[in-house]
């Protein structure tokens, strides 16, 4: 069994830890935050992600906190006209063998954290993040902010979009190091207790409101007690890539002034809307270097327009664990992981960028043009072509 170091105890790092602990490896996680919690935001988990959580034994605990929405729909941002696009209830289980869950990021993080601690009470070291690493022969040594060090057979960089591990592997500021470009888009996010909304807005349905120069995504969380809101607008004067920068309801309403009253009702009921700039990055050409690899947002940060960021991290985690089942040599296992994941993750990153144009199309400027556009772009066969390949992928059985 391997002695594995993981930099970062977010969703991806914890899932990797759990998958590896279940296989008998020794795992130690190092997290810079002293308080292990996630920000208040929603996460969508397609069948490609939920089947992995179920396989890891988390079905019951996840079902206590998720919302299994009954469907998704497209709505026109100005008039509110709606078109159904997905049946997410029984259909996801019937077609893909696993449910579609919508979950509060903090609730999801807590489920994973509790599972890792139950498997290995001392696995997580909080308040001491990584600042770099060294490779000496077959061993890798992680350098920590406190000045301490930890050595193991293998290091997994799960330290997020601003990954120190990726920067050291590929070069800070280079394309391979994750150099970012501003997309010209920023997003608002917030949570609203369902009881604050009028009855017609309390449905357990995810909605993608589309319009010229922006779109809005809403979906229920925490058994239907909360509504998650994301408002995406084309705006070039805010370039801070942070999830924790508070804005104001007034500013958010100005950005979405021409949108339907239902959208504005949601915004008025958000306690604090947060804003963040959306930066794009080209896919990396490789994820591994010797006994060191990156995963999740550290490897393939993506725009949120396919709702696959968290799912990709779960897939990475399970594939890394499976590769170590096949190859005891860490370098060989990580090469296998890299080859297994590069093509799929790059396709998701590019597909997420492509959806920006689809959701902000000029044809959405009039009800007549929007109806023709939605009926053309969201025909059942086109929707299947665009999304089924995401949910059909099974990290538990994919060839490695």
On the question of pLDDT at 175 being above 60, the answer is no
On the CB side of 183, CA atoms within 13 Å amount to 26
H/E stretch holding 258: none
Q: Which one-letter DSSP state was computed for residue 364?
A: G
Beta strand 226-234 pairing with 149-152: unpaired
Q: What is the pLDDT of residues 324-343, one digit of tens each?
A: 999 999 999 999 999 999 99
Q: Tell me the whole-structure pTM to 2 decimals.
A: 0.95
Sheet containing strand 149-152, strands side by side: 130-136, 139-144, 149-152
**Average pLDDT of 319-324?**
98
Q: Which one-letter DSSP state was computed for residue 308?
A: -
Active site residue 387: no
| Residue written as token pair 């954290």 | 113
What burial class does residue 17 get, using C-beta atoms within 10 Å of its C-beta: 0-12 exposed, 13-18 middle, 19+ buried? buried
**Average pLDDT of 346-374?**
87
Note the pLDDT of residue 205.
Answer: 92
Choice among 58-62, 177-181, 272-276, 292-296 with the minimum mean pLDDT: 177-181
- Spatial contact of 169 and 294, defined as CB atoms under 8 Å apart: yes
Beta strand 292-294 pairing with 154-157: parallel
Distance in angstroms (rounded) separating the CA atoms of residues 45 and 128? 29
Distance in angstroms (rounded) separating the CA atoms of residues 358 and 355? 5
Q: Which one-letter DSSP state was computed for residue 67?
A: B
Note the pLDDT of residue 171.
Answer: 76
- Spatial contact of 103 and 66, defined as CB atoms under 8 Å apart: yes
Note the pLDDT of residue 377.
Answer: 84
On the question of pLDDT at 26 being above 60, the answer is yes
On the question of pLDDT at 177 being above 60, the answer is no
Range among 12-26, 200-214, 266-280, 282-296 with highest mean pLDDT value: 12-26
**Residues 6+ away with beta carbon under 8 Å from 337:** 287, 288, 293, 316, 319, 320, 323, 400
Residue 157 Cα distances to 36, 129, 142, angstroms? 17, 11, 10
Note the pLDDT of residue 308.
Answer: 96
Distance in angstroms (rounded) separating the CA atoms of residues 369 and 306? 24
Q: What is the pLDDT of residues 235-272, one digit of tens each?
A: 877 666 666 789 999 999 999 999 999 999 999 999 99
Note the pLDDT of residue 42.
Answer: 94
Mean pLDDT (the chain) is 91
Note the pLDDT of residue 172.
Answer: 55
Q: Residue 274 — very low, low, confident or very high, per pLDDT cuts 50/70/90?
A: very high
- Spatial contact of 238 and 88, defined as CB atoms under 8 Å apart: no
Beta strand 154-157 pairing with 42-45: unpaired
**Residues 6+ away with beta carbon under 8 Å from 253:** 264, 267, 268
Q: Residue 286 — very low, low, confident or very high, per pLDDT cuts 50/70/90?
A: very high
Q: Which residues pair with 132 in a beta bridge?
A: 143
On the question of pLDDT at 290 being above 80, the answer is yes
Apex 12 CA angle, 69 and 24, nearest 5: 115
On the question of pLDDT at 22 being above 80, the answer is yes
Q: Residue 174 — very low, low, confident or very high, per pLDDT cuts 50/70/90?
A: very low
Sheet containing strand 288-289, strands side by side: 124-126, 26-31, 3-7, 154-157, 292-294, 288-289
Q: Give Dmax over CA atoms of the chain in angstroms.
A: 66
**Average pLDDT of 27-49?**
89
Q: What is the pLDDT of residues 366-396, one digit of tens each?
A: 888 888 888 888 877 788 888 999 999 999 9
Greater model confidence, 358 or 240: 358
Note the pLDDT of residue 84.
Answer: 79
Note the pLDDT of residue 36.
Answer: 78
Q: Which residues pair with 143 in a beta bridge?
A: 132, 149
Q: What is the pLDDT of residues 99-155, one digit of tens each?
A: 999 999 999 999 999 999 999 999 999 999 999 999 987 899 999 999 999 999 999
Q: Which of 100, 219, 274, 373 is catalytic?
A: 219
Note the pLDDT of residue 138.
Answer: 81
Note the pLDDT of residue 34.
Answer: 83
Note the pLDDT of residue 43.
Answer: 96
Cβ neighbour number for residue 119 with a 10 Å cutoff = 15
Q: 185-218 in b/e burial notation, b at 16+ Cβ within 10 A?
A: bbbbbbbbebeebeeebebbbbbbbbbbbbbbbb
Note the pLDDT of residue 366.
Answer: 85
Distance in angstroms (rounded) separating the CA atoms of residues 155 and 3? 9
- Spatial contact of 215 and 307, defined as CB atoms under 8 Å apart: no
On the question of pLDDT at 89 being above 90, the answer is no
**Average pLDDT of 9-16?**
97
Q: What is the pLDDT of residues 67-81, one digit of tens each?
A: 988 888 889 999 999
């Amino acid at each position: 069994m391997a002695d594995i170091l993981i930099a970062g105890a977010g969703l991806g790092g914890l899932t990797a830890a759990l998958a590896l602990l279940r296989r008998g490896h020794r795992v130690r996680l190092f997290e810079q935050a002293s308080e292990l919690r996630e920000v208040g935001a929603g996460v969508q988990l397609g069948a490609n992600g939920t089947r992995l959580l179920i396989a890891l034994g988390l079905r019951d605990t996840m079902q206590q906190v998720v919302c299994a929405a009954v469907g998704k729909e497209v709505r026109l941002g100005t008039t509110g006209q709606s078109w159904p696009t997905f049946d997410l209830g029984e259909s996801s289980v019937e077609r893909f063998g696993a449910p579609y869950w919508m979950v509060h990021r903090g609730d999801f993080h807590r489920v994973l954290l509790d599972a890792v601690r139950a498997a290995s009470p001392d696995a997580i070291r909080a308040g001491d993040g990584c600042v770099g690493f060294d490779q000496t022969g077959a061993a890798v040594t992680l350098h920590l902010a406190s000045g301490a060090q930890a050595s193991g057979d293998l290091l997994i960089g799960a330290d997020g979009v601003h990954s120190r591990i990726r920067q050291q592997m590929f070069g800070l500021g280079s394309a391979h190091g994750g150099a970012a470009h501003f997309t010209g888009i920023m997003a608002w996010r917030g949570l609203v207790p369902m009881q604050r909304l009028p009855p017609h807005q309390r449905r357990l349905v995810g909605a993608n409101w589309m319009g010229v120069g922006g779109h809005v995504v809403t979906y229920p969380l925490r058994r239907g007690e909360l509504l998650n809101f994301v408002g995406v607008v084309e705006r070039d004067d805010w370039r801070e890539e942070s999830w924790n920068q508070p804005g104001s309801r007034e500013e958010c309403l100005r950005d979405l002034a021409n949108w339907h009253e239902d959208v504005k009702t949601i915004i008025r009921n958000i306690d604090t809307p947060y804003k963040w700039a959306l930066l794009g990055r080209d896919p990396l050409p490789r994820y591994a270097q010797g006994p060191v690899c990156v995963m999740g947002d550290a490897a393939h940060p993506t725009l949120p327009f396919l709702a696959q960021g968290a799912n990709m991290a779960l897939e990475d985690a399970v594939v890394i664990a499976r590769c170590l089942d096949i190859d005891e040599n860490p370098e060989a296992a990580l090469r296998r992981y890299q080859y297994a994941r590069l093509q799929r993750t790059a396709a998701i990153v590019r597909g997420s960028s492509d959806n920006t144009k689809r959701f902000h199309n000029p044809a959405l400027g009039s009800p007549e043009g929007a109806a023709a556009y939605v009926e053309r772009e969201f025909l059942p066969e086109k929707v299947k072509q665009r999304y089924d390949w995401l949910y059909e992928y099974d990290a538990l059985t994919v060839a490695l």
